[in-house]
Chains A and B, each alone.
Chain A
Amino acid sequence: MSIKMDNVGQSFPKPDEEGMVCIVDSIDLEINEPSINMLLGPSGCGKSTILKMMGGVRPFGVACPTAGEIFINGEACHGPHNDVVMVFQKYANRPDLSIWDNVAFPLTLSLWKKRIPPQEREERVREMLEAVGLADKAALRPSQLSGGQNQRVALARALVLRPKIILMDEPFGALDAQTREEMQHLLIELQEKHNCIIVFVTHDVEEALLLGDRVIVLSTKPATIAENFEINEPKPRSSIWLGSTYANQQREKILSVLHASTSKDFQ
């Protein structure tokens, strides 16, 4: 399994005038090993756009990407890939379906219906609900769950397809600190169990340090890769680890790169 971005760029037409504005510029990125990869950058820098390009979801009405090529498992990819699944900050859980049906939703699509026999579909849903700790809530609706539980549902729905690559767009951004920590641990656990590549967008340096095997710091306007940090520390990492000298050093380095790239924007 691998995901590779080869000199990828994205420009949008300016809303009121002629010409294009470049949002993402010449991104070169290659991920070959199961790992958690944090895309870290200031709000509005184009992180989500990069993620949408990887997911092959193009809701913009313009060509995407406008430059370069994205390869999934070595093959150039121009649409939603079956091995790639996205998780959104706002969960995208269906309010009209029960938790069970929400998780089972992808399996009702003709693409997966053909490939997965009914009995296995049911087993997968049950297994995923247990993995995220919501087996007893299967009959409830999303409105009856908390924000953290809803994000668990979204995770279960993504994992029920057993994807090789999961793209997460600030999935824990709306959660309180305690729930976020729980979810981070759950994510690490699930990633190790399913052995998949996770690309995780965040603007939170501490979250990046706690979760990432690799932290990719983005500069802004246009978004380019400013620096790549490898963090080879055992997981899960605690808040005490965050106070360690090593973590502090990494944090300082990341922040200085972020500051350099944003101050460029002000000049």
Chain B
Amino acid sequence: MWNPYLPLSKSTKRISTFGSLAFVLFLWSLLSGLNIIGPDKLPSPWDVGKAFATLTWSETDQQKTVERSLKEVTIEIEKDAILPAEQCNQVCVPLYDNPAIQSIEECEIDWKDEQYPEGILWCSTKIVEGQSLLWEATYWSVSRVFLATLATLLIGLPMGILMGASTRINALLSPIVDPLRSTPVVAILPILVIWLGIGEVMKIAFLVLGAIVFLIPMVRDALQAVPQTYWISARDLGATEWESVQKAVLPMAMPRIADAIIASVSIMWTYITVAEYVNAEKGLGQLIQNAKRFSAMDQVFVGIIVIVALALVTYQLMVKLKQSLYPWESEL
């Protein structure tokens, strides 16, 4: 018999999860492998994998030259003489201050430079530089979401709690807060740019705005959903008005407030690309924007997958945290 309340066993759940993911991957491979959808529209999974690897770690060779006036380096050599290769290494290697460099490809002394008549030492070698574009972008995006979360909680929680605790404050603020929920936040971005410039403040303000319009009403509703008996009981036992909110209503509302926080952070992850639309030098949204500009669809996919993965991980962590903080909620 079909029973919607029947809990699934862990193994069934795991098989279902991996099964559906594997199905999507299979369908995707089929569509791009058989060239049903071209790579300009849908990059193949292996291309996305390759792009992921490149973005995660890429190395580039760079010619690096160092110039020093002979006044600054101690070197025993007669004027107009040619620098022997052995001495060249000895003198030049310390100048790079890089443990990876043990020998130098080229070096010579220019005795005829006009600016440095005492002679100038010129060293040149190749340096392999590795960088992780993806890590850098993730670091910036996560930092922005984290700061925006802090700001949202700092402003949104007190406002929501006050609105939930006092019908007067609610009557005063809800005509302002409630319509904002259905305002197209993306359309507000240009206004924020005019007000706050194109720097980090604008980006974080945009994320805060996008999330807080949902957080405040949800926190308020969480408080109002607590049965009145708890409030009456606390008042009857001698609690002051504030105490009955702080010690009776608020603790009871906490699981739903936690849900509101989790939802707001999830909303922020969906807005991060928009926030990084304008003048972002680093970030996952910028990475996607950049890739789109060069029609690198595989990199666009990498960006999206990473954002989704980060959002899922933060979601799961927060849900776990909530369950351990309020285990009594599931027992109600």
**A and B, one complex?**
yes
What is A's interface to B at a CB cutoff of 8 Å? 52, 55-57, 59, 80, 82, 84-86, 88, 90, 92, 94-97, 105-106, 108-112, 141, 143-144, 157, 161
Q: Find out whether the CB atom of B238 lies under 8 angstroms from the CB atom of A90.
A: no
* New A-B pairs, 14, CB < 8 Å, besides A55-B236, A80-B237, A94-B252: A57-B236, A80-B238, A88-B232, A94-B248, A95-B332, A96-B252, A105-B237, A105-B247, A109-B240, A110-B240, A111-B238, A111-B239, A112-B238, A143-B328
A57 to B238, CA, bound (A): 11
A95 to B230, CA, bound (A): 11
Q: Find out whether the CB atom of A92 lies under 8 angstroms from the CB atom of B332.
A: no
Q: Find out whether the CB atom of A96 lies under 8 angstroms from the CB atom of B232.
A: no
A56 to B238, CA, bound (A): 11
> Which chain B residues border A90 with CB–CB below 8 Å?
227, 229
B151-177 Cβ-contact flags toward A at 8 Å (1 or 0):
000000000000000000000000000
Q: Find out whether the CB atom of A92 lies under 8 angstroms from the CB atom of B240.
A: no
Q: Find out whether the CB atom of B232 lies under 8 angstroms from the CB atom of A109.
A: no
With beta carbons under 8 angstroms apart, the residue of B227, B234, B328 that contacts A96 is B328
> Is B251 among interface residues, defined by CB-CB distance under 8 A?
yes
- If A108-B247, A141-B331 touch, does A88 touch B233 (CB 8 Å cutoff)? yes
> Which chain A residues border B252 with CB–CB below 8 Å?
94-96
Across chains A and B, the number of contacting residue pairs, with CB separation under 8 Å, is 71
> Is B57 among interface residues, defined by CB-CB distance under 8 A?
no
- In chain B, what residue has the closest Cβ to A108? B247
Lowest 7 CB-CB distances: which A-B pairs, in order? A143-B331, A111-B238, A92-B233, A106-B237, A92-B229, A95-B328, A86-B236
With beta carbons under 8 angstroms apart, the residue of A84, A85, A86, A109 that contacts B243 is A109
> Is B139 among interface residues, defined by CB-CB distance under 8 A?
no
Jot down 30 A-B pairs with beta carbons below 8 A, ordered by A: A57-B235, A57-B236, A59-B228, A59-B231, A80-B235, A82-B238, A84-B236, A85-B236, A86-B233, A88-B232, A88-B233, A90-B229, A92-B229, A92-B233, A94-B252, A95-B328, A95-B329, A95-B331, A96-B251, A96-B328, A97-B251, A105-B237, A108-B247, A109-B239, A109-B243, A109-B247, A111-B238, A112-B238, A143-B328, A161-B238
- If A55-B236, A94-B252 touch, does A88 touch B229 (CB 8 Å cutoff)? yes
Main secondary structure of the interface of B (DSSP, over half): helix
A141 to B252, CA, bound (A): 14
| A61 CB, nearest partner CB in chain B, Å | 9
- If A88-B229, A94-B251, A94-B252 touch, does A143 touch B332 (CB 8 Å cutoff)? yes
> Is B46 among interface residues, defined by CB-CB distance under 8 A?
no
What is B's interface to A at a CB cutoff of 8 Å? 227-240, 243, 247-248, 251-252, 254, 326, 328-329, 331-332
| B244 CB, nearest partner CB in chain A, Å | 9
| A104 CB, nearest partner CB in chain B, Å | 11
Most buried by B among A57, A109, A157: A109
Q: Find out whether the CB atom of A109 lies under 8 angstroms from the CB atom of B331.
A: no
A144 to B327, CA, bound (A): 13
Most buried by B among A52, A96, A161: A96
A112 to B243, CA, bound (A): 12
> Which chain A residues border B231 with CB–CB below 8 Å?
59
A106 to B251, CA, bound (A): 15
A86 to B248, CA, bound (A): 16
Most buried by A among B229, B243, B332: B229
A86 to B228, CA, bound (A): 14
> Which chain B residues border A96 with CB–CB below 8 Å?
251-252, 254, 326, 328
A141 to B240, CA, bound (A): 25
> Which chain A residues border B229 with CB–CB below 8 Å?
88, 90, 92
> Which chain B residues border A144 with CB–CB below 8 Å?
331
A111 to B251, CA, bound (A): 20
> Which chain A residues border B331 with CB–CB below 8 Å?
95, 141, 143-144
Most buried by B among A97, A105, A157: A105
A59 to B230, CA, bound (A): 12
- In chain B, what residue has the closest Cβ to A167? B236
| B328 CB, nearest partner CB in chain A, Å | 5
- In chain B, what residue has the closest Cβ to A80? B236
- In chain B, what residue has the closest Cβ to A82? B238
Q: Find out whether the CB atom of A109 lies under 8 angstroms from the CB atom of B236.
A: no
Q: Find out whether the CB atom of A110 lies under 8 angstroms from the CB atom of B233.
A: no
| A143 CB, nearest partner CB in chain B, Å | 4
> Which chain B residues border A59 with CB–CB below 8 Å?
228, 231-232
| B168 CB, nearest partner CB in chain A, Å | 12
- In chain A, what residue has the closest Cβ to B255? A96
Q: Find out whether the CB atom of B238 lies under 8 angstroms from the CB atom of A109.
A: yes
> Which chain A residues border B236 with CB–CB below 8 Å?
55-57, 80, 84-86
A80 to B229, CA, bound (A): 14
A90 to B240, CA, bound (A): 22
A110 to B326, CA, bound (A): 25
| A233 CB, nearest partner CB in chain B, Å | 32
A118 to B252, CA, bound (A): 25
A110 to B252, CA, bound (A): 20
- In chain A, what residue has the closest Cβ to B230? A92
A90 to B231, CA, bound (A): 13
- In chain B, what residue has the closest Cβ to A79? B235
A109 to B228, CA, bound (A): 18
A241 to B233, CA, bound (A): 36
- In chain B, what residue has the closest Cβ to A163? B237
> Which chain B residues border A52 with CB–CB below 8 Å?
232
Q: Find out whether the CB atom of A109 lies under 8 angstroms from the CB atom of B237.
A: yes
